[in-house]
Chains A and B, each alone.
Chain A
Amino acid sequence: MGRLGISVGDFGFFLIAAVAVLLLAIQAVEHPSQFAQVLVFGLADGAIYALVALGYTMVYGIIELINFAHGDVFTLGAYIGATLMGFFASTSEDSFLVANLVALVITFPVVMLIMGAVNITIERVAYRPLRNAPRLAPLITAIGMSFLLEGAMFLWHGPATVHVPDLLPHGPGFQTTIGGVFIAFKDVFVVIAAAILVSLLAVFINRSKLGKAMRATAQDRDASQLMGININRTIAATFFIGALLAGAGGMIWGLYFNTITYNLGFRTGLVAFTSAVFGGIGNIPGAALGGMVIGLTAAFSDSYIGSKWTQVVIFGILIGVLVFRPTGLLGMRVPEK
């Protein structure tokens, strides 16, 4: 991997990326409105994937664990959100009232905090006792926790889909068509909410003392312990923040699609994890970017290739990225051990 030129792997990666962009550009010129419409869907999807991917990348960055339970934490957030919003009986799904706004303002932080607490508990019970165990042991408990959460949600509502109250403003007043592209308030809301959360996270990680401790722990756990960082607290905080974002992601998913099932987190989690790898696992801006790119890819693949091939496309990209550019889009910050 020469310092001046680019490596063969990178070349292959950029070549494939360039071909993909070129093909999309041709579509964009030929059918601009359809292209823009798909772009809108993709951005909204990608924003949610980005929120979930951040949790994966943070946890992997700090303890090198693929936290399989994270996708289910996301789903549980949507479940709890649906129940909490159901309590606001006076809120209307047909028109947007002040009550809806109050419901959302109350529900969002409550769900996020509950999920944070749940994830800290998971870490305390299932991962911390195994920190010095063989490497596969925490992976198995992560899978066990994933089954456990899915089982809890299955017990709660059974296999049927659960309806999430459609509290966001919708209807003729809150949607518009610009040049043949249909844009609803929801699409804008999802992207903006995700952008706000990701920026807050970035500021937190880069500016706060705890964020600094997280970065230090990710780099070298022993050394940061010697510097007086409380490792257990830092790792717990990482899980907490990851779950805050996953809870918010679950809420946003519920509000956007309005239906959830108990095993939603499995597929979403895998896709989000792919996004984290795509952006360079352990890298926070990378995960956000990866989520957007994967969301867009999924949307483009849905409409141009066929939705039954989307999964193949996404995981094909995953393999391609790892073969040609294992550090991901933005490179990874975690040193290889």
Chain B
Amino acid sequence: MSEPTTVAKPSSLWARLHLRERIKDRDTAIYGVLLVVALAWPMATFFVSGSSFLTAQAAHAGTWVLLAIGLNVVVGFAGLLDLGYAAFFAIGAYCYALFASFQLASSPLHHAFHLPFWLMLFVGMFVAAAAGAILGFPTLRLRGDYLAIVTLGFGEIVPQLFLNLDNWTGGINAIGSIDQPSLPAWITGPWAGADSIQIVPNYNFSFDPVAYYVLVLIMIIVAVILVTNLYRSRLGRAWMAIREDEVAAAAMGINTVTTKLLAFAIGASFSGFAGAYYGASFGLVSPDSFLFVVSITVLVMVVLGGMGNIPGVIVGAIAIYFVLNNLLVALPSNVESVASALGLGFLNKSSGDWPGLGGEVQRLQFLLYGLILVGMMLLRPQGLFPSRVREQELKHDAVVEEETVAEQVPAR
């Protein structure tokens, strides 16, 4: 209002970036805030808490963000319900764990592999994508919920397989002491022999949370750019068309099976990507880490954030991760301190059947998580930040309905 007529000169950099308009856009604003927080996070948290624990946690949360971005391709873009996403995550993680640890030395192969992380990142990605394509090929002809059920079955089978094939994967003993990534990558590796050609001293990530944090941040940024471009491509529009009306999309000449298969494989590939990172950063891969709960949690992140909207999904993933790993975990001790502050400290001691207030609240965690899920869905079934396109469509539908009602009334 203050500058009514003057048009910004396109020559200035400020105007050319259209920053003023872009900040007004909700999604861009979210990206901006996320980027600023992400860049400031390691230093800020170190100054506040004096340890890099929060950075390590953020690096772990990054795995979930990657998973959510990947599942968003399947569920949000193409509208295919995948209830076994953790299976692809497991495939990626085991892919790295098997070929970058001493595990295979005790397998029937009797030879340990130590392939570099940077290679296995992409191998894990392709193996997961291949698994997605193999699973999807016979089943994507099916409609609707059948796919959900097939993926659910697949998600149950894969961790069980890793558990049962214990002479290869170690089964319940998990795979430990997995190689940590090191830089520069091209100098180490099985072909380099001993440390013969070291130009620069190798930098091993070992247990430095900041290194993993930077790595996962780069991975997320790459993933976001890739997925955004996909979304705007011909393929992305085909996905949306299939999501809205498969029959109409087929009539428009879209090969529905190939398009869905691509969504499935691309979504799975991000999971494999995340899996390799998870194996490297956590150093331990166990079949228990890929159960149905993981698939469900990622799905909740996607739906809660706003299906089909990438920044929304990232926020959803961070929010759910925070609720699960900080809020609910810290709740018992918080409640205890509140109780002692209120002079109700006697509640904190356990006696007989009463496990103490902290113990009782700890038992409540599951229930609270359920309550949060139900409550959030009832309040905002479309998610925190629904995709703009979806929002427009919903609004449009409502308008059309009103119009038809308005037409019918006078026609009486």
Give chain A's interface residues, CB within 8 Å of chain B: 60, 64, 66, 125-126, 129-130, 133-134, 136-141, 143-152, 154-155, 158, 266, 270, 273-274, 277, 308-309, 311-312, 315-316, 318-319, 322-323, 326, 336-337
Chain A residues within 8 Å of B365, by CB: 151
CB of B373 within 8 A of CB of A136, answer: no
Task: Please name all residues of chain B whose beta carbon is closer than 8 Å to the beta carbon of A139 when the two chains form the complex.
Answer: 81
**Cβ-closest 5 pairs across A and B:** A151-B367, A144-B373, A148-B370, A147-B370, A151-B366
**Complex CA distance for A130 and B383, rounded to whole angstroms:** 13
**Contact across chains for A326 and B303 when beta carbons are under 8 A apart:** no
* B contact residues around A274 at 8 Å (CB): 153
- Cβ contacts under 8 Å, B142 to chain A: 322, 326
Flag whether B382 is at the interface (Cβ < 8 A).
yes
A138 and B373 alpha carbons, distance in the complex (Å)? 10
Cβ-defined contact, B303 with A319, below 8 A: no
Q: Which of B81, B299, B374, B382 has the most CB of A within 10 A?
A: B374
CB-defined contacts of A319 to chain B, threshold 8 Å? 139, 150, 153-154, 157
Q: Counting chain A CB atoms within 10 Å of each CB, which of B160, B364, B377 scores highest?
A: B377
| Pairs A–B under 8 Å by Cβ, sample size 23 | A66-B149, A130-B381, A133-B377, A137-B303, A139-B81, A140-B373, A147-B370, A148-B374, A151-B363, A151-B370, A152-B367, A155-B360, A270-B152, A273-B149, A311-B156, A312-B160, A312-B161, A312-B164, A316-B157, A318-B150, A319-B150, A322-B149, A336-B144
Task: Give how many A-B residue pairs fall within 8 Å (CB-CB).
Answer: 131
Q: A66-B148, A322-B142 are in contact. Are A148 and B367 (CB under 8 A)?
A: yes
- Are B367 and A143 in contact, CB atoms less than 8 angstroms apart? no
Q: Is the CB of B366 within 8 A of A144?
A: no
- The minimal Cβ–Cβ distance linking A216 to chain B, given in whole angstroms, is 21
New contact pairs (17) apart from A148-B371, A154-B363, A322-B153, CB-CB < 8 Å: A66-B148, A130-B381, A137-B382, A140-B303, A141-B373, A144-B374, A151-B365, A151-B366, A151-B367, A155-B363, A273-B149, A311-B157, A311-B160, A312-B164, A316-B153, A319-B150, A323-B150
B164 touches A308 (CB 8 A): yes
> Among residues 133 to 147 in chain B, which have CB atoms less than 8 Å away from a CB atom of chain A?
138-139, 142-146
Determine if B367 and A147 form an interchain contact, defined as CB atoms under 8 angstroms apart. Answer: yes
Bits for B295-309, please: 1 = Cβ < 8 Å to A, else 0: 010011001100100
**Is the C-beta of B369 less than 8 angstroms from some C-beta in chain A?**
yes
User: For residue A137, which residues in chain B have a CB less than 8 angstroms away from its CB?
Assistant: 303, 377, 381-382
> SS class of chain B's interface: helix, strand, loop or mixed?
helix
Asked if B377 and A130 make an inter-chain contact with CB atoms under 8 angstroms apart, the answer reads: yes
Cα distance A60–B148 in the bound complex, in angstroms: 13
* Smallest CB separation, A152 vs chain B (Å): 6
Interchain CA distance A252-B279 in the complex, whole Å: 43
| B156 CB contacts on chain A under 8 angstroms | 270, 311, 315
Question: Closest approach, in angstroms, between the C-beta of A57 and any C-beta of chain B?
Answer: 13
B119 lies within 8 A of chain A by Cβ: no
In the assembled complex, how far is the CB of residue B135 from the closest CB belonging to chain A, in whole angstroms? 8
| Nearest neighbor of B390 in chain A, beta-carbon distance | A134
Taking a contact as CB atoms closer than 8 A, the residue among B150, B307, B363, B364 that contacts A136 in the complex is: B307
Question: Which residues from chain A contact B138 at a C-beta distance below 8 Å?
Answer: 323
- Which residue on A lies nearest to B365, using beta carbons? A151
Interface residues of B (CB under 8 A from A): 75, 81, 138-139, 142-146, 148-150, 152-154, 156-157, 160-161, 163-164, 292, 296, 299-300, 303-304, 307, 360, 363-374, 377-378, 381-382
For B81, the chain A residues whose CB sits under 8 A away are: 136, 139
Considering the complex, give the chain B residue whose CB is closest to the CB of A318: B153
Instruction: Tell me the complex Cα distance, A308–B159, Å.
Output: 12
| A149 cross-chain contacts in B, Cβ below 8 A | 370
Q: Given A308-B164, A319-B150, A322-B139, is A144 in contact with B157 using a C-beta cutoff of 8 Å?
A: no
Which residue on A lies nearest to B300, using beta carbons? A140
**B377 A140 Cβ-Cβ under 8 A:** yes
Residues of B within 8 A of A318 (CB): 149-150, 152-153
B316 to nearest A CB, angstroms?
Answer: 11
Residues of B with C-beta under 8 A to A315? 152-154, 156-157
User: Which of B144, B299, B366 has the largest number of chain A CB atoms within 10 A?
Assistant: B366
How long is the Cα–Cα vector from A145 to B371 in the complex, in angstroms? 7
Q: Hey, which chain B residues are within 8 Å of A138, CB to CB?
A: 377
Query: Within the complex, which residue of A133, A140, A154, A337 is in contact with B366, where a contact is CB–CB below 8 Å?
Result: A154
CA distance A328 to B365 in the complex (A): 38
Q: Measured between alpha carbons, how far is A125 from B278 in the docked complex, in Å?
A: 38
The docked-state distance in angstroms from the alpha carbon of A139 to that of B374 is 10
**Chain B residue at minimal CB-CB distance from A313:** B157
A148-B370, A151-B370, A311-B157 known; A158 vs B363 contact (CB < 8 Å): yes
Contacts A129-B378, A140-B299, A311-B160 known; A151 to B150 CB distance under 8 Å? no
Task: State the Cβ distance, B45 to closest chain A Cβ, in Å.
Answer: 30
Q: Bound state CA distance, A66 and B152, in angstroms?
A: 12
Closest chain A CB from B84 CB (angstroms): 9
Q: Are B154 and A144 in contact (CB under 8 A)?
A: no
Taking a contact as CB atoms under 8 Å apart, the answer to whether B157 and A312 are in contact is yes
The interface centre, meaning the residue of B144, B161, B164, B378 with most chain A CB atoms within 10 A of its CB, is B378
Given contacts A158-B363, A311-B160, A316-B157, contact A126 B307 (CB under 8 A): no
Distance in Å from the Cβ of B140 to the closest Cβ of chain A? 11
In the bound complex, residues from chain A placing their C-beta under 8 Å from that of B143 are 336
Cβ of B307: which chain A residues have Cβ within 8 Å of it? 134, 136
A147 to B81, CA, bound (A): 20
In the complex, A308 Cα to B164 Cα: how many Å? 7
Which residue of chain B is the closest to A68 with respect to CB atoms?
Answer: B296
Residues of B within 8 A of A273 (CB): 149
Residues of A within 8 A of B161 (CB): 312
Closest to B380 in A: A137
CA distance in complex: A145, B376 (Å): 12
Measured between C-beta atoms, what is the minimum distance from B359 to chain A in Å? 9
Please measure, in the bound complex, the distance between the C-alpha atom of A337 and the C-alpha atom of B145, giving whole angstroms: 11
What's the minimum C-beta distance from A143 to chain B, rounded to whole angstroms? 6
Task: Give the docked Cα–Cα distance between A61 and B388 (Å).
Answer: 33
Which residue of chain B has its CB nearest to the CB of A337? Answer: B144
The residue in A316, A318, A319 that gathers the most chain B C-beta atoms within 10 A of its C-beta is A319
Can you name the residue of chain A whose Cβ is closest to the Cβ of B297? Answer: A143
Please, which residue of chain B has its CB at the minimum distance from the CB of A148?
B370
Contact partners of A64 in chain B: CB under 8 A: 145
A155 and B367 contact, CB distance less than 8 A: yes
CB-CB under 8 A from B378, the residues of chain A are: 126, 129-130, 141
- In angstroms, Cα B146 to Cα A286, docked, is 16
Chain A's closest residue to B144 (CB) is A336
A150-B150 in contact given A140-B300, A144-B372 (Cβ < 8 Å): no
Shortest B315–chain A CB gap in Å is 16
